[in-house]
Copies of this chain bind each other. A is one copy, B any other.
Amino acid sequence: MATLQDIGVSAFINILSAFAFLLAFALLRIQPVNDRVYFPKWYFARARKSPRRAGNFVGKFVNLNFTTYLTFLNWMPQAMKMTEAEIIDHAGLDSAVFLRIYTLGLKIFMPVTVVALLILIPVNVSDGTISFLKKDLVTSDIDKLSISNVRPQSSRFFIHIGLEYLFTIWTCFMLYKEYDNIASMRLRYLASQHRRVDQFTVVVRNVPHASGKSVSDSVDRFFQTNHPEHYLCHQAVYDAKKFAKLVRQRERLQNWLDYYQLKFERHPEKRPTSKRGFLGLWGVRVDSIDYYKQQIKNLDRRMALEREKVIKDPESILPVAFVSFNSRWGAAVCAQTQQSKNPTLWLTNWAPEPRDVYWNNLAIPFVSLTVRKLVISLSVFALVFFYMIPIAFVQSLANLEGLERVAPFLRPVIELNFIKSFLQGFLPGLALKIFLYILPTVLVIMSKIEGHIAMSMLERKAAAKYYYFMLVNVFLGSIITGTAFEQLHSFLHQSATEIPRTIGVSIPMKATFFITYIMVDGWAGIAAEILRLKSLVIYHLKNMFLVKTERDRERAMDPGSVDYPETLPTLQLYFLLGIVYAVVTPILLPFILVFFALAYLVYRHQIINVYNQQYESVAAFWPHVHSRIIASLLISQLLLMGLLSTKEAANSTPLLVILPILTLAFHKYCKSRFEPAFRKYPLEEAMAKDIAERAAEPNLNLKAYLADAYLHPIFQSFVVEEEQVIQVRVDKHQSHHVSPSGSGSELSSPSPPHHVSISQHQVEHNYEQNYEHSYEHNYEHNYDYQYEAEHRNYYSYHYEGQP
């Protein structure tokens, strides 16, 4: 049990470390050499080509303008400068709504903190039971400010119950306003957007296999029959694992070629050579540029063959397709209705935007999906409740004796006293730390196995799993000591009324723990986030050892993105803590407020300058945030009931029973009132956009616009060789044969006219497109995406007039 002084010391240490991080960040970010680590977003947005301050040679790496050191905290006002509308423009709606969660936290907890501190602390302090019991019970100063200090059977509990009602109503009010706001932001965003391929496209899965007909024919026939006035075209999905491998290989070779060409340009006197053997260490020495050109040529030939094979072979067409319609209305209708008599066939859903598609999961059959879901939910349950078992097993192995047995030559070192004690303290925790570090990745992999077809969905599902883990292992695990497995066991053997009592009674005692937790994980953790230490180190390491070309440098930048699977559950945990402790130990609230404020600033800065979202789900995660806050309210009400029932406040506790029911009703209402805006696309909206578009662009060639929007990214590859461009478009209607490489400026595939024209611009455009769609590095972002889309239209208009 910590005293107020202990908390003070802890706060001091954590504030100090947070400040140290912030200071380090402030110093590092103004060094030109770090510019790509702290401002990558601007590079991707093409708003920045090189660090702002160039100066002399030293000035390229170190900031010599000493006045900037004096204003080292000026990133904070800078981060605040952008308006919300600008952030939406700059980083998308997801990011803007993510920031709103923090402001929502501030809006909810600011008044709650003031009211709770002003009312509850005097109420709790003045009733002083704990001071009488001091000899029996070890209590802290914090406990004097908490509900523990109130005598059993006191009528003061009416005040606590009243405040619980007040806080619940206030939170619900804020939640309602926010949901309303975000739902209309979402609709406004969707309405204001330029034409997007996913507005016209529906993904249809489980296309039945008709004997003697290809999948493409079945799809065409089915939609021409059932959506005769709206069906436009479709894009088949190919199974191209082997081709993907070749693409990756080619990319590697291309990179080496670029490197040697650059080298040759810089030192034209010496033509670069390399050895052909393993890692270039031995073998015949050859001219590098010629060698790689030859290699690429060979590979291109193989790729062309493989590509042709994939496209011609009906076996490689998966029973899934992206079906496009000639109007948003048609797509909205198809996405929301049941197509076939057998509801496991012809399953239609909105297509995610092309960047968001998780290609590997598209072709999972229906039964397999059911089985996968079952298996994964069982695994998540096991993971949440039994994860300590394998870790304990590993820990039992990873002790000193084991280490000595495995590596006997280490014995003399291990037997040194200080190393021994260090290892003894370190080893057992290692397995746990590694587990916790890889947990989010494991959860994402589990979500992938579950079979979701959009990255955004994957991340949301992983976030949900992580939330359950945190709720059980961090929140409940800290309150009732013992592993989750022990908790499960005791829950199974306790009655439904006993469980909230057991948890409720220990809640006030754990306030100091959670205050420390908030400071360590919240304050210092957030300050560490802005420093991006890991990215900084990795970028400089890559820069030193791996970066050969400008393209490599671009790739070495790791802007990252808001890590939803980890940040959303963390955030929700803070909401839970705040709501649970608001009435019990209000002194915890200011710490949460500081967290929300700091995190808001940091993430605002990161979103503006660093993160580069890989997809735009248009705030699709909001319903989850909303319902988890509601769950927090319910948990807090149940626990308060449990706590009060141990305080023998029999005349006041029953008043609380109605509150969870009302909260649930509120949730149900919100769900039916707002959630459809996140799951469906109203026809009114679709029709309005269709009409507006038809009026503005009556001659729009939608078919050309949609032609290869949902082509698997690896097929959107290109061959650049001595200024010759071969653009391969794989489209059922247009080409079933592919040009052999090196066929000069002639396009062998009968693609739409605008593709025939070859210009330097087009080459660049294709280059970008390929780069952005490259299989391994999805560095695309909103801007480029829109830019590209508009660009492509530009071509289609531009060239259509001059065939």
Asked whether A685 and B498 contact (CB < 8 A) given A374-B661, A661-B374, the answer is: no
Give the complex CA separation of A333 and B681 in angstroms.
Answer: 13
Give the complex CA separation of A491 and B495 in angstroms.
Answer: 7
Of chain B, the residue at the smallest CB distance from A225 is B687
A residues contacting the other copy or chain, number (CB 8 A): 50
Asked whether A370 and B333 contact (CB < 8 A) given A494-B495, A495-B495, A684-B341, the answer is: no
**One of A90-98, A546-554, A670-678, A755-763 contacting the partner:** A670-678
Asked whether A367 and B669 contact (CB < 8 A) given A492-B495, A684-B226, the answer is: yes
Asked whether A333 and B343 contact (CB < 8 A) given A370-B672, A669-B370, A672-B370, the answer is: no
> Which of chain B's residues have a CB closer than 8 A to the CB of A229?
229
- What 1/0 mask marks residues of chain A from 338 to 365 whose CB sits below 8 Å from any chain B CB? 1111011010000000000000000000
A187 within 8 A of B: yes
A493 within 8 A of B: yes
**B496, A344: Cβ atoms closer than 8 Å:** no
Indicate the member of A229, A366, A495, A673 with the most B CB atoms within 10 Å: A495
**A226, B683: Cβ atoms closer than 8 Å:** yes
User: Chain A's interface: helix, strand, loop or mixed, by majority?
Assistant: helix
**B343, A681: Cβ atoms closer than 8 Å:** no
A682 within 8 A of B: yes
Give the complex CA separation of A752 and B183 in angstroms.
Answer: 47
> Which of chain B's residues have a CB closer than 8 A to the CB of A498?
493, 495
Give the complex CA separation of A370 and B661 in angstroms.
Answer: 13
Of chain B, the residue at the smallest CB distance from A679 is B338
Give the complex CA separation of A229 and B326 in angstroms.
Answer: 15
- What 1/0 mask marks residues of chain A from 646 to 668 whose CB sits below 8 Å from any chain B CB? 00000000000000010001001
The minimal Cβ–Cβ distance linking A122 to chain B, given in whole angstroms, is: 35
The minimal Cβ–Cβ distance linking A172 to chain B, given in whole angstroms, is: 14
The minimal Cβ–Cβ distance linking A138 to chain B, given in whole angstroms, is: 30
A769 within 8 A of B: no
Give the complex CA separation of A227 and B329 in angstroms.
Answer: 9
The minimal Cβ–Cβ distance linking A779 to chain B, given in whole angstroms, is: 34
**A684, B340: Cβ atoms closer than 8 Å:** yes
> Which of chain B's residues have a CB closer than 8 A to the CB of A374?
661, 665, 668
Indicate the member of A332, A378, A669, A685 with the most B CB atoms within 10 Å: A669
Indicate the member of A374, A674, A681 with the most B CB atoms within 10 Å: A374
A52 within 8 A of B: no
> Which of chain B's residues have a CB closer than 8 A to the CB of A337?
332-333, 336-337, 680, 682-683
> Which of chain B's residues have a CB closer than 8 A to the CB of A370?
665, 668-669, 672
The minimal Cβ–Cβ distance linking A620 to chain B, given in whole angstroms, is: 16
Of chain B, the residue at the smallest CB distance from A496 is B492
> Which of chain B's residues have a CB closer than 8 A to the CB of A341?
187, 677, 682, 684-685
Of chain B, the residue at the smallest CB distance from A675 is B343
- What 1/0 mask marks residues of chain A from 387 to 429 whose CB sits below 8 Å from any chain B CB? 0000000000000000000000000000000000000000000
A497 within 8 A of B: yes
The minimal Cβ–Cβ distance linking A472 to chain B, given in whole angstroms, is: 16
> Which of chain B's residues have a CB closer than 8 A to the CB of A225?
684, 687
**A681, B338: Cβ atoms closer than 8 Å:** yes
Asked whether A683 and B497 contact (CB < 8 A) given A343-B676, A672-B344, the answer is: no
**B226, A343: Cβ atoms closer than 8 Å:** no
The minimal Cβ–Cβ distance linking A527 to chain B, given in whole angstroms, is: 41
Contact of A338 among B373, B493, B676 (CB under 8 A): B676
> Which of chain B's residues have a CB closer than 8 A to the CB of A366?
672-673
> Which of chain B's residues have a CB closer than 8 A to the CB of A373?
668
Give the complex CA separation of A366 and B338 in angstroms.
Answer: 26
> Which of chain B's residues have a CB closer than 8 A to the CB of A371?
665
The minimal Cβ–Cβ distance linking A595 to chain B, given in whole angstroms, is: 34
The minimal Cβ–Cβ distance linking A611 to chain B, given in whole angstroms, is: 30
For the complex with contacts A187-B341, A338-B676, A493-B495, 18 further pairs of A-B residues with Cβ separation under 8 Å are: A222-B684, A225-B687, A229-B229, A332-B337, A333-B333, A333-B337, A336-B336, A337-B683, A340-B684, A341-B684, A343-B675, A343-B676, A343-B677, A343-B680, A344-B672, A370-B665, A374-B661, A495-B495
Question: What are the 8 tightest A-B residue pairs by CB atom distance, in nearest-first order?
Answer: A343-B676, A338-B680, A336-B337, A374-B665, A493-B495, A370-B669, A338-B682, A492-B497
A-B contacts, 11 of them at CB < 8 A, read A226-B683, A226-B684, A229-B229, A340-B684, A341-B682, A341-B685, A344-B673, A366-B673, A367-B669, A494-B496, A495-B498
